[in-house]
Amino acid sequence: QVHLTESGGGRVQPGGSLTLACTASGLRFRDYAVGWFRQAPGKEREYVARISGNGEFTYYADSVKDHFTIARNNEKNTVFLQMNFLYPEDSAVYYCAARNGQSSNYAPAYQFWGQGTQVTVSS
């Protein structure tokens, strides 16, 4: 059974940083691309960033590309999302998702999802 677990969320002041982690089990991790998505109250789920299975290719939404970094450690079955210079509009529940094959910015393309971790940016 496949499980994805997000961690690292919390409350941070504007301009601060957080690093989220997504740890997977039950799958051959290197075969799976991973994406991060987020959903704020009253809004649709939004694509944030994605990374290929071998970590060679990374892509970002325009809104975060200058201050978020995605990376992975396949030996630890973990993908990280380093978030710097956080703004209140970055507040959301952040989800990681995995799909077998190429990464995608299309949420329905992902087969497995975590439960999410809350990020709140507020003074």
For residue 49, name the pLDDT band (cuts at 50, 70, 90): very high
The set of residues, in sequence order, having a beta carbon less than 8 Å from that of 115 and lying 6+ positions away, is 5, 6, 95
Say how many CA atoms lie within 13 Å of 55 toward its Cβ: 14
The predicted-structure confidence for 21-47, as pLDDT tens digits, reads as follows 999 999 999 999 999 999 999 999 999
The predicted-structure confidence for 80-120, as pLDDT tens digits, reads as follows 999 999 999 999 999 999 999 999 999 999 999 999 999 99
Average pLDDT, integer, range 57-81: 97
What does the pLDDT read at residue 74? 98
Residue 90, token pair as written in the block: 């970055």
Burial of 81 per CB tally in 10 Å (0-12, 13-18, 19+): buried
